[in-house]
Structure 1
Amino acid sequence: MCHLARALARNVPMPFSRSVVGTTMANACLLGVLLFTQSTSNADWPVFRGDANASGAVTVKLPAELEELWTYSAKDGDSEGGFEGTAAIANGIVYVGDFDGTFHAVDLKTGEKKWTKRFEDTGFLAATTIAGKHLYLGDYNGIVRCLSTEDGSEVWQYDTKSEVNAAVNVHGEAVLVTTEGGSLLSLDKATGDNRWEYTIDSPLRCWPTVVKNRVLLAGCDGVLHAVDVEKGKQLDTVSIEGPTGCTPAVMKGRAYFGTEDGNFFAVQLDPLEIAWKYRDTKRSSGVRTAAALTKDIVVFGSQGKKVYAINPEKGEPLWEFPTRSRVESSPLIVGKFAFFGTVRGRLYLVDLKSSEEVWQLNTGGSFIASPAVSDERIVIGNTDGTLYCFGRAETGIEIN
């Protein structure tokens, strides 16, 4: 989701009247510019939307009927918390924090606990980021931590002094963090030292997408900001007419995201200017999900109980799918299907061309977290503290 609803649930003051609310890639790529695009089911999921461009899309083929391979309960890790943050996956291990302050490492094949790490008086609402042998994540007290993937031991921590609701991004030697206080921080990956800080007058709740040495920030101030990733200086801005916490997804020199005012934008990046704007004229509702994006289609959910598919080049609607519930979990494009969850605990698999429902499951709870994919499996957690793994019983997801 865009992390805006999370703030509302805890009565965090909002800067506007309407309700608003971020993962294989070889380790060498993570240490570099993160230009990887996931293309096989054997790839890991190290960042919030799977790759550096936040595409939320993988080129694998699902079976006609998804099967539940396993479930893991936060209670197995001695926690009463639920899952709102999206899992990260690497080397066959699922890493995810819950909102009761426990961090979990779970075996992707079996669903068995590898280890847990308890942090007192806090909770995790944001997705986890993996870079090499370390995990990076922020909590709702504003503490950013670097943990070991081996056992969860803490390498360093940094206090931002403001709630962190979005996943951090690791770019080269920098850890990029957005905060409720309106800051974009660049921390040293090895030490946690503050390298620079860029601030706006409203909350920042999006994952900081990096493209060509520029950090893209869709802000609650109704502006898309482009910031120099090395120096923290503003390079460009463009009005997006309303607040948002949605993560910009990038493809072919454009960023795609929605706003709380019900608009969905494609923004040309060089220079920043609006390429097109889509709005449902019949029932416009706020957008709190990141978009899933390929060269042929962009898919996003809304507060109006619909999932939309748009032509990314022209902004023309392709279809809309009624969900009977709000969608705050960001959709995933998997081969020829879209996979997504709703706040009423339903999971859907929808054909991208026909918009027909091919599978659904009512799990209970609520899906705020977004799905992650690795090793031919889809993993998603819900607010009742259950982590689900789906695929084909014998072999997981079938490769194209």
Structure 2
Amino acid sequence: MKFTLASIFFYCLFLSAFAQVKPDFNTEPKVQWRFKTNAPIFSSPVISDGVAYFGGLDSTIYALDVRSGDVKWKIKTSGELRSNVAIEGDKLYLMGGNGLLSCLDKKTGKAFWRKVYDNNALYIGERRYDFADYFHSSPLIHNGVIYLGSSNNQVFALSADSGETLWSFQTNDIIHNKPIVVGDKLFIGSFDGHLYALHLKDGRLLWKFKSVGQQYFPKGEMQGSPAAGFGSVFIGSRDFNFYALNTETGQGNWNMKFPKGWAFAATVKDTVLFLGTAEDRLMLAIDARNGRELWKVDLKFHIFGQSEFSTSLVYVPTIWGKLYALDRKTGATKWTFTTDGYKSNHLKYFKSDDTYRDDIYTIFKSSLDLIKAEYSMGGIFSTPAIDNDMMVITTTEGIVYGLKR
């Protein structure tokens, strides 16, 4: 009898672990469906119970069936949506571009409650640090509490049931990244150049770390969302540095400095930190325990979105409309997928080998020209989402792709 119970117990553990493993997309997936919205999308799809949820710059939140792309529901809000939703049970939480935090029924979109927290975010679409400030803070839910940053420089802890403010913490500039929880600490970065470690229960400051700054970015804005693992919290700054800090003290464990620009897209998987860079256009695998580089590959394009993973592959989005599937152990490219915008507009800005055209500076005369190009190319600033044999990606051409393995 004991043997039987033990066998059942370990069998259940095996099934539970197996269920969490996502099978590989070993070859380039086929487009199962496309869904066209009215504006660019920077929000990453979040999948729950076979439905993908995301928001767009058209001020609309969408719920799409993952397998068919059919609209389950959509709701018009006010203000551009540049953050990801958070889901807990049957509730969906969304920070809108009008500074309004909404708690919705994920099945119908009906509002349970709405509250304004970010009074400066009435112009959140315009209230951007600069043209490269693509995202806004996404809510994190932990033990019944919502944590998020805001454009009025504050960190909030809110009741997930009612939206009541439990505590807030003031920084000295906007906060446009997603916080992370480690133990009893909340980590979040601010454009004032600090990474803050706050106590979960009352928001008191435990420690803060200031980036060193750089000639063109003296504040060293902490734009990337933090990641954590093995006693370190990781974050990228605009000062061209990527920092690994001791979670208890804020002291530096190690850092990497990149010659050309930023490294924001960090994700820890098992013992490996996967890091995407912008101007250096590199994807790196780093031992999260000691900072040792395992491999790096030149993907030709900037990376702002975090990666998605399956059993042996990592899926890396780039802002010019190309998605890479790389071997997690070696970095070898297994396949690439390109958006419709990439296929139609690639040669307007790039050579056939994905290097910039020789006359690119006559094409990109201003940041507005660059933004228009990013939009037209179907850039993938978001993180892909996998659900069984389907992968969903959102793009700046306003198209959502349902890719089938």
Task: Please classify the TM superposition score into its range, dividing by the shorter chain length.
Answer: 0.7 to 0.9
Task: State the AA in 2 paired with 1:227.
Answer: L
Determine the structure 2 residue equivalent to 1:311. 287
* In the alignment, structure 1 residue 209 sits paired with structure 2 residue 180: yes
3-state SS of 1:272 partner: coil
1:83-112 Cα distance to aligned partner (Å, 9 max, x none): 210111111111111110111111122222
Please say if residues 222 and 244 of structure 1, whose CA atoms lie closer than 8 Å, have aligned partners that are also in contact.
yes
* In the alignment, structure 1 residue 147 sits paired with structure 2 residue 104: yes
* In the alignment, structure 1 residue 109 sits paired with structure 2 residue 30: no
Please say if residues 81 and 102 of structure 1, whose CA atoms lie closer than 8 Å, have aligned partners that are also in contact.
no
The residue correspondences of 1:1-40 to structure 2 (distance < 5 A) are none
The residue correspondences of 1:110-125 to structure 2 (distance < 5 A) are 110-119=68-77, 121-125=78-82
In the TM superposition, residue 350 of structure 1 has moved relative to its aligned partner by 1.1
* In the alignment, structure 1 residue 60 sits paired with structure 2 residue 36: no
Relative distance call for 1:333 and 1:324 in structure 2 (3 A) is same
Determine the structure 2 residue equivalent to 1:192. 163
Determine the structure 2 residue equivalent to 1:377. 390
Determine the structure 1 residue equivalent to 2:145. 174
TM-score in terms of structure 1 length: 0.78
Determine the structure 2 residue equivalent to 1:92. 50
Task: State the AA in 2 paired with 1:132.
Answer: G
Determine the structure 1 residue equivalent to 2:91. 134
Task: State the AA in 2 paired with 1:387.
Answer: V
CA distance in 1, matches of 2:25, 2:318: 21
Please say if residues 304 and 318 of structure 2, whose CA atoms lie closer than 8 Å, have aligned partners that are also in contact.
yes
Please say if residues 23 and 388 of structure 2, whose CA atoms lie closer than 8 Å, have aligned partners that are also in contact.
no
CA distance in 1, matches of 2:32, 2:188: 36
CA distance in 1, matches of 2:292, 2:28: 31
CA distance in 2, matches of 1:263, 1:367: 23
Please say if residues 74 and 82 of structure 1, whose CA atoms lie closer than 8 Å, have aligned partners that are also in contact.
no
Please say if residues 42 and 374 of structure 1, whose CA atoms lie closer than 8 Å, have aligned partners that are also in contact.
no
In the TM superposition, residue 137 of structure 1 has moved relative to its aligned partner by 1.1
Determine the structure 1 residue equivalent to 2:232. 254
* Identical pairs, percent: 21
The residue correspondences of 1:355-370 to structure 2 (distance < 5 A) are 355-363=331-339, 364=341, 365-370=378-383
Task: State the AA in 2 paired with 1:97.
Answer: G
Which one of 245, 249, 274 corresponds to residue 267 of structure 1?
245
CA distance in 1, matches of 2:309, 2:240: 22
Determine the structure 2 residue equivalent to 1:301. 276
Task: State the AA in 1 paired with 2:85.
Answer: T
Determine the structure 2 residue equivalent to 1:234. 205
Please say if residues 41 and 373 of structure 1, whose CA atoms lie closer than 8 Å, have aligned partners that are also in contact.
no
Determine the structure 2 residue equivalent to 1:388. 401
Please say if residues 85 and 138 of structure 2, whose CA atoms lie closer than 8 Å, have aligned partners that are also in contact.
yes
CA distance in 2, matches of 1:295, 1:156: 37
Task: State the AA in 2 paired with 1:385.
Answer: G
Task: State the AA in 1 paired with 2:267.
Answer: A
1:170-199 Cα distance to aligned partner (Å, 9 max, x none): 122321120122100112212212222101
Task: State the AA in 1 paired with 2:273.
Answer: V
1:136-170 Cα distance to aligned partner (Å, 9 max, x none): 01122211111111211111112121337121011
Task: State the AA in 2 paired with 1:186.
Answer: A
Q: Between Structure 1 and Structure 2, whose CA radius of gyration is higher?
A: 2
CA distance in 2, matches of 1:63, 1:85: 23
Which one of 216, 240, 261 corresponds to residue 285 of structure 1?
261
Relative distance call for 1:85 and 1:338 in structure 2 (3 A) is same
Please say if residues 33 and 403 of structure 2, whose CA atoms lie closer than 8 Å, have aligned partners that are also in contact.
no
CA distance in 2, matches of 1:302, 1:104: 29
Structure 2 unaligned segments of length 5 or more: list them.
1-15, 125-135, 213-219, 342-377
Which one of 222, 226, 232 corresponds to residue 244 of structure 1?
222
* In the alignment, structure 1 residue 73 sits paired with structure 2 residue 44: no
Name the one with the larger helix percent: 2
Determine the structure 2 residue equivalent to 1:19. none
Determine the structure 2 residue equivalent to 1:49. none
Aligned length: 331
Task: State the AA in 2 paired with 1:235.
Answer: L
CA distance in 1, matches of 2:25, 2:384: 17
Please say if residues 68 and 388 of structure 1, whose CA atoms lie closer than 8 Å, have aligned partners that are also in contact.
no
Determine the structure 1 residue equivalent to 2:359. none
Task: State the AA in 2 paired with 1:169.
Answer: L
Task: State the AA in 1 paired with 2:324.
Answer: Y
* In the alignment, structure 1 residue 276 sits paired with structure 2 residue 254: yes
1:114-151 Cα distance to aligned partner (Å, 9 max, x none): 111122x3221101100111110112221111111121
Which one of 115, 124, 134 corresponds to residue 158 of structure 1?
115
Determine the structure 2 residue equivalent to 1:340. 316
CA distance in 1, matches of 2:396, 2:338: 14
Structure 1 unaligned segments of length 5 or more: list them.
1-38, 44-58, 393-400
Task: State the AA in 1 paired with 2:30.
Answer: E
TM-score in terms of structure 2 length: 0.77
CA distance in 2, matches of 1:274, 1:148: 42
Name segments (4+ residues, structure 1) moved above 3 Å: 39-43
Superposed CA RMSD: 1.9
Which one of 181, 185, 190 corresponds to residue 219 of structure 1?
190
Determine the structure 2 residue equivalent to 1:349. 325
Please say if residues 235 and 264 of structure 2, whose CA atoms lie closer than 8 Å, have aligned partners that are also in contact.
no
Please say if residues 32 and 404 of structure 2, whose CA atoms lie closer than 8 Å, have aligned partners that are also in contact.
no
Please say if residues 40 and 60 of structure 1, whose CA atoms lie closer than 8 Å, have aligned partners that are also in contact.
no
Determine the structure 1 residue equivalent to 2:127. none
3-state SS of 1:162 partner: helix
Relative distance call for 1:195 and 1:351 in structure 2 (3 A) is same
CA distance in 2, matches of 1:295, 1:42: 17
In the TM superposition, residue 344 of structure 1 has moved relative to its aligned partner by 0.9
